[in-house]
Chain A
Amino acid sequence: DTAVSQTPKYLVTQMGNDKSIKCEQNLGHDTMYWYKQDSKKFLKIMFSYNNKELIINETVPNRFSPKSPDKAHLNLHINSLELGDSAVYFCASSQGKRTQFFGPGTRLTVL
């Protein structure tokens, strides 16, 4: 019944590794997003996808790459992880301009 789900919920990894976070929504929404919440709780948009097209890329390093195999999924792949990438990453979805619904978040810790 979960509307927006993310896996994993926790991810601990070493600097330099490559990792992915998966997101799935079963709401039939046409747009999905990734947000980053830093250690001070500040939330910032990273990407959005609408019908498989990247709409926003907010000065995010190119080590981050969103991949959307279909309308219900938007995965986040991160190459060469750095200490500063440690954060909570949220996936969200919406139908057009309507309200965005968030996943439970993935806490990424880079050691």
Chain B
Amino acid sequence: AQTVTQSQPEMSVQEAETVTLSCTYDTSESDYYLFWYKQPPSRQMILVIRQEAYKQQNATENRFSVNFQKAAKSFSLKISDSQLGDAAMYFCAYRSPSAGGGADGLTFGKGTHLIIQP
């Protein structure tokens, strides 16, 4: 079974600075999907960024980018120019490819609580 590890229960960063959240995973599969989800105090789960394992290029979405190291099974999230609205729990998640239909659930890490200092 796949496992996802987020080793930082909590991180703090000054507004406008850059912060990197760590995620490692364990799998024997060669093709899979990785995600970062954000959960603000409203508890809504919001997709931040997605990466397909077969793509070598790191995904980026505005101020959010990932450092995907397939051999090291590492998938870190970098947030540039941190804003107060970035304060939230961040979850790293893994998804297996499936034979058909894609009906596989996500395996989540335990999350990192990100605090933005004004």
Interface residues of A (CB under 8 A from B): 30-31, 33, 35, 40-45, 48-51, 55-56, 58, 88, 90, 92, 94-102, 104-105, 107
Q: Is the CB of A55 within 8 A of B103?
A: yes
B95 on interface, CB distance cutoff 8 Å: yes
Are B102 and A94 within 8 A (Cβ)?
Answer: yes
A–B complex contacts, Cβ < 8 Å, 25 sampled: A30-B101, A31-B103, A35-B106, A41-B110, A41-B111, A42-B111, A43-B106, A44-B108, A48-B103, A48-B104, A48-B105, A49-B103, A50-B101, A51-B101, A55-B103, A92-B45, A97-B95, A97-B102, A98-B102, A100-B95, A102-B45, A104-B43, A104-B44, A105-B43, A107-B43
Chain A residues near B68 (CB, 8 Å)? none
Binding site for A on B (CB under 8 A): 33, 35, 37, 39, 42-47, 50, 89, 91, 95, 97-98, 101-108, 110-111
Return chain B residues, CB-CB under 8 Å to A90: 45
Residues of the B chain whose Cβ atoms lie less than 8 Å from the Cβ of A41:
39, 89, 110-111
